[in-house]
Amino acid sequence: MKIEQHHIQDANKKALKSHQEHIDFLTNSLTNKGVNVEAVIKKIQDFQVAIPSWALGAGGTRFGRFSFYGEPSSLEQKIQDVGLIHSLTQTAGAVSLHIPWDIPQDYKAVKELASGLNIKFDAVNSNTFQDQKNAQESYKYGSLSNTNEAVRQQAIQHNLDVINIGNQLGSKSLTVWLADGSCFPGQNNFQTALQHTENSLKAIYKGLPSDWSMLIEYKPYEPNFYSTVIQDWGTSFMLANACGEKAFSLVDLGHHLPNSNIEQIVSILMLKGKLGGFHFNDSKYGDDDLTVGSIKPYALFLIFNELVYGMQNNPQNPDLAWMIDASHNVKDPLEDLIQSLEAIQEAYAKALLVDQKALKTAQLENDVVTCQELLQDAYRTDVRPLLAQARLDKGGALSPIQAYRALDVRNQLIKERGKNTVATGL
Ligand code: PSV
Ligand code: MN
C-alpha cells in the first residue's frame, strides 16, 4: 500500500478550518513574545527520526506475543511501512537496520524503493546478543568481551560485515549494543571483560570508513542481571575516547536506573563532543520500551532542552542519529510509532520555545523562581498547531492517527499481506 497525496488532502479537509484558527492564535501569541514562528516550524520540519526495522511488527515479552496482523515479512515491506508513516508525519525519513535480521537480497532494488519513499538509511545495528544459525561460536557468555578469543573474533568480524552492508546502502554509522555481562557475582572478571571489550571495539573501529562513526550504547542490566560490561554513560564515554574521534556514546532513554538525571548526562556528553546517537522510548520501571512521552513527558522536555542547548552551543558535537527504540505489545505498531513521533516533535518544539537569553540572565542572578517559570512557560505551551503546520506544509496529515484510521491502513495491509505474517526481529 502507498498513501498518495490526494488521500492525505482528503483526510485533512475537515480539520483545515479549525487548524487555521489554532495556528493563527498561537502564531500571534508567540510572535508577541518575540518567537520567530517560521524558524521554529522549519526546525521541526528538518528533524527526522529513524524507525528501526525491528519495530514494525508486534513486540512481545517473554510471556508471549500478540500479532497485529498484516506485519511486514520482508525488508521491502518494512521499508514500505516506514514510507506510510513518513508520508503521514513527514518526520520519519530514515530507517535503521538490524543485521542479520534485515540483510538486503537486492541492494539496488532496496535503495530505489527507499529513495522513492524519501527514506534514508541511518545507523546500522549489529547483533551479537543472539546466536545465528550455523554460527561456529556461541554468544551465551558474551561476545566482544568473551574469554574465548575465537568468539571475540567472530563478533568483531560480524561488526565489520555489518559496516560493509551499511556502506552499500549509504549508512554512515554503526551502533554497537552489547548484551555482554554476567548474571552472578564472580562469573566474570570485570577488568578482563572490559579490557577485551575495549580491544574488540578498537579492532572494529579500525575497519570503520573515514566518514563513518561508531556509536556505543550502554545499558545497566538485561539480559544479564548482575553486571553489564558497558553499563553506563561513563563506561561508554571511556570506550569512545579509547577508540578515537569517530567513536561516540549513544543514549537510549530506557537504559538508566530509575530517576537518573538523563538531561545532565546528555548535556555533559555534548559539552565533550561525544554524544553521537539517541534512542527514544519511555518507561515506568526499567527498559519498558513504551511509547515516547507516554509516561514522563516533562522529563522528555527537559532532555530536549539540553539537546537544543547543545545543538546551538556545542559545535564540537556531531549531528545526532535519532531513532525510536520502542516495542509495541498492545498497540498497532504503526499507530504507536506515529504517537512516538508526535511526542518527540512536541518535546523538541517546546524546547525550542525556551527563552535561552532570559534563562541565562536568571541563572546568573540565581533567580531560581524565574528559571523554573521560563522552562515551565515553554513546557505548558500547546505546540500541537505548530507540528500540524509543519506537516501540512510538507504534504503530511494534520492528524496522522486520524488519517491512518480514515484510510484504513491496517486492514489494507492485512488484505495485501495476509493475517499471519510475522516480522523478523526479537
Ligand atoms: C537494547 O535494549 C536495545 O536498546 C539496542 O538498541 C538494540 O539494538 C535494540 O534494543 C533492539 O534489540
Ligand atoms: Mn536502544
Task: Kindly give the distance from the C-alpha atom of residue 386 to the centroid of ligand 1, in angstroms, as a whole number.
Answer: 32
**With the C-alpha atoms ordered 307, 308, 314, 319, is the resulting torsion angle positive or negative?**
positive
pLDDT at res. 426:
64
What nine digits make up the cell of 99? 543485521
154-174, pLDDT tens digit by residue? 999 999 999 999 999 999 999
85-116, pLDDT tens digit by residue? 999 999 999 999 999 999 999 999 999 999 99
Distance CA 350, CA 333 (A): 26
Largest CA distance in the chain: 66
- The protein residue with its alpha carbon nearest to ligand 1, atom 9, reads 325
Contact 147, 85 (CB under 8 A): no
404-420: average pLDDT: 95
Pocket-testing residue among 217, 225, 228, ligand 1, by greatest number of atoms within 8 A of Cβ? 217
Q: Nearest CA to 281 among 289, 273, 270?
A: 289
C-beta atoms surrounding 45 within 10 Å: 18
Contact 89, 340 (CB under 8 A): no
**Chain-centroid distance, C-alpha 42:** 21
Question: Which of helix, strand or coil describes residue 346?
Answer: helix
312-367, pLDDT tens digit by residue? 999 999 999 999 999 999 999 999 999 999 999 999 999 999 999 999 999 999 99
pLDDT at res. 423:
80
- The protein residue with its alpha carbon nearest to ligand 1, atom 10, reads 325
236-253, pLDDT tens digit by residue? 999 999 999 999 999 999
8-17, pLDDT tens digit by residue? 999 999 999 9
Q: Residue-wise over 386-425: b if at least 16 C-beta within 10 A, else e?
A: bbbbbbbeeebbbbbbebbebbebbeebbeebeeebebbb
Share of the chain above pLDDT 70, in %: 100
**Per-residue confidence at 68, pLDDT binned at 50, 70, 90?**
confident
Q: Which atom of ligand 1 is nearest to the CA of 426?
A: 12
Pocket-testing residue among 178, 225, 325, ligand 1, by greatest number of atoms within 8 A of Cβ? 325
**Per-residue confidence at 262, pLDDT binned at 50, 70, 90?**
very high
pLDDT at res. 376:
98
Task: Kindly give the distance from the C-alpha atom of residue 182 to the centroid of ligand 2, in angstroms, as a whole number.
Answer: 19
Which H or E element spans position 124? strand 124-125
Q: Does 404 contact ligand 1 (Cβ within 6 A)? A: no
Kindly tell me if the per-residue pLDDT of 231 is higher than 70. Answer: yes
**Which is higher by pLDDT, 2 or 209?**
209
**Chain-centroid distance, C-alpha 303:** 14
Mean pLDDT, the chain, as a whole number?
97
C-beta atoms surrounding 266 within 10 Å: 25
pTM for this prediction: 0.97
Which H or E element spans position 44? helix 37-46
Q: Does 235 contact ligand 1 (Cβ within 6 A)? A: no
Q: What is the DSSP string of 267-284?
A: HHHHHTT-EEEEEE-B-S
Q: Does 217 contact ligand 1 (Cβ within 6 A)? A: yes
